[in-house]
Amino acid sequence: MQLDMLLVRAAERLARAGSPSPRLDAEVLLCHVLGVERTWLYTWGDRMAPTFQRARFEALVAARVAGHPVAYLTGEREFWGLVLATSPHTLIPRPDTETLVEVLLGLADETSGRLLDLGTGTGAIALAFASERPGWQALGIDRVSEAVALAESNARRLGIANVRFLVSDWFSAVAQQRFALIAANPPYIDADDPHLAQGDVRFEPRSALVALESGLADLRHIAECAVGHLVPGGWLALEHGHDQAAAVRELLEARGYGDVASRRDLGGQERVTFGRRPDQ
Ligand code: GLN
């Protein structure tokens, strides 16, 4: 069967299974099996698919029909123009989080400094920031050692040298250290949120998604602890749920952070809130 026809059939199956992006899923999975870029498919779609590659493709489509995220099936996802390895131990990097990277770059006006990324997962935030600010040192920490190993291998493969990763339960392994910027995309979804029963999140680690206190517990903990880990004038920037911006601004203001503001993601939702260290 020709590649074009394989794609049409796979996209139909994926659409019936409820994928929000059936054609794209089919193209990404086929490219993964063939080891080609998507533009290659547009030129060579009339070629025949070799039997063994077709069988591998069908197996991946079946897994996707069963709901598995494309990024786990291919083992990678692009974030900030960087191709990152992903694994079921980590959250899949999302375009929304690029808003947090933009905010961090806007706050990093010095030529050098130190950034801490809490709950780094694949390393997405630390790697994107470090790639744009070669004079800075980024440190990504995660409680999950598999995540730290994955983030380290991402840094090596991408050749990003000004970043380190460390196993740490929030601030425990950096007790004495201070940073000019602290960033986090922590768990912030309420355990009863119906969103958790749909799509890719069903396969992602719940520990990266769900937090107590209507999703605000980890955001609050970080806002409290970060005060002691920021240099004077340093900034804390937090990703949060689309309906949590007012609550997070309040968390920061109640603890004395200054110049508190929120930024919208590409979908128009308030997604990131940041503030300057309280004067002590
Ligand atoms: N934004 C993600 C989602 O809604 C959740 C990420 C997180 O909890 N940190 O699926």
Read off the DSSP letter of residue 76.
E
* 79: pLDDT strictly greater than 80: yes
Average pLDDT over residues 235-256: 98
In this predicted structure, the answer to whether residue 219 has a pLDDT above a threshold of 80 is yes
| DSSP states along 78-108 | EETTEEEE--TTSPPP-GGGHHHHHHHHHH-
Sorting pLDDT into bands at 50, 70 and 90, what band is 149?
A: very high
Give 250-265 pLDDT, tens digit per residue. 999 999 999 999 999 9
Mean pLDDT of the chain: 96
β-sheet bridge partners, residue 184? 118, 238
pLDDT-derived band of residue 240, with 50, 70 and 90 as boundaries? Answer: very high
**What mean pLDDT do residues 101-130 have?**
97
- 109 pLDDT band (50/70/90 cuts)? confident
pTM greater than the 0.90 cutoff: yes
* Separation between Cα atoms, residue 15 and residue 73, nearest integer Å: 18
**What mean pLDDT do residues 269-278 have?**
97
pLDDT at 131 over 90: yes
Beta carbons within 10 angstroms of residue 162's beta carbon:
17
Distance of CA 166 to the CA centre of its chain: 17
Which of 79, 94, 143, 203 has the most ligand 1 atoms within 8 A of CB, as the residue to mutate?
94
Name the band, by pLDDT with cuts 50, 70 and 90, for residue 23: very high
152 C-beta closer than 6 A to ligand 1: no
Res 279: pLDDT: 84
* Inter-residue contact 22 to 11 (CB < 8 Å): yes
Please determine, for residue 2, whether its predicted confidence score (pLDDT) is greater than 90.
Answer: yes
* Residue nearest (by alpha carbon) to ligand 1 atom 5: 209
Is 117 within 8 Å of 92 (Cβ atoms)?
no
Kind and range of the H or E run holding 41: helix 38-44
Question: Using CA atoms, how far apart are residues 190 and 182, in angstroms rounded to an integer?
Answer: 24
From residue 224, alpha-carbon distances to 71, 154, 179, 244 in Å are 34, 30, 15, 17
Residue with tokens 């800075």: 136
Position 164, amino acid: R
Checking if the pLDDT of 280 tops 80, the result is no
pLDDT band at 201 (very low <50, low <70, confident <90, very high): very high
Please give the share of the chain, as a percent, with pLDDT higher than 90.
96
Handedness of CA 3, 8, 13, 19 (dihedral sign): positive
What is the model's pLDDT at position 145?
97
pLDDT single digits (tens) 173-189: 998 899 999 999 999 99
CA atoms within 13 Å, Cβ hemisphere of 214: 6
Structural domains in the chain, sorted by start? 3-67 (1.10.8.10), 88-276 (3.40.50.150)
Binding residue numbers for substrate: 185-188
Q: What are φ and ψ of residue 273, in 5° steps?
A: -130, 140
Mean pLDDT of the 59-85 span: 97
Q: Assign residue 57 a region: left if phi > 0, alpha if psi is -120 to 50, beta otherwise? A: alpha
Q: What is the ipTM of this complex?
A: 0.93
Residues ≥6 apart with Cβ < 8 Å to 21: none
Q: Could you tell me if the CB of 250 is within 6 A of ligand 1?
A: no
Ligand 1 site, residue 189, Cβ cutoff 6 A: yes
- Give residue for tokens 């990277």: 101
Q: How far apart are the first and last CA of the chain?
A: 69
Phi, psi dihedral angles at 116 (to 5 degrees): -115, 130
* For residues 206-213, average pLDDT: 97
Contact predicate 180/114, CB 8 Å: yes
How close is the Cα of 203 to the center of ligand 1, in Å? 13
Q: What is the DSSP letter of 20?
A: S
State the average pLDDT over residues 91-100. 97
**Both structure tokens of 154:** 């991402």
